[in-house]
Amino acid sequence: MSAILYPVAANAELAMAAALGRAAREREAHGLAGEAVVFTTDVTGPAFADEAAAQAAFAAPLAEGWARLSEQILPGQTVGHAEAACEDGHRWTALAQPAPRTAWRLMVSYWRVATAGRPISAPQARAARRGKQPLDPKTLQVMARQPLRPIAPQQPLDIGLFEVRPPDAPHIVMPDE
């Protein structure tokens, strides 16, 4: 099995048009960029009404494996929810509103190089809450989009999956049958 070579770029548009290079692993991407990189997936390109048109427009990146299509709800619409009810043998009633309009967008996975506008790591929400200064909306968006990081490394398990500590002798580890 061959690894996918992801583009190394500052943003998704540059990943599509003028990547610094391609890398499968972080250390390779770091070598190409000359600075810290982070793996990310961003939306880019125009929206298409149907999947076939999007596939035709983005055939090359889709074939390489570092891009995929995603159906997204167009902004400014409300999404209706069905109420659970058991009527005439059906669990769900019909929606009061029609289904929202959607568009197909290209999702590009790439190694993002740190820039002044988008640094590699933003502050964690738990640390920012402790601060007394209010946060601007852009900072909140960045914090909401980043994955959670642990405060400390996870400690190894002291006993195995099929081992137990008896209540009368918690210092002993016994196999569980």
Q: What are the structural domain ranges in the chain?
A: 1-76+105-118, 119-149
**Most confident option among 26-40, 107-121, 149-163:** 26-40
**Most confident option among 13-27, 113-127, 137-151:** 13-27
Pairing relation of β-strands 90-92 and 174-175?
unpaired
Identify the residue with better confidence: 97 or 113.
Answer: 113
- The pTM assigned to this predicted structure is 0.60
Residue 51 pLDDT level (bands cut at 50, 70, 90): very high
- Contact 58/71 with Cβ under 8 angstroms? no
Which two three-digit tokens encode residue 90?
A: 């059906």
* CA end-to-end distance (rounded Å), the chain: 40
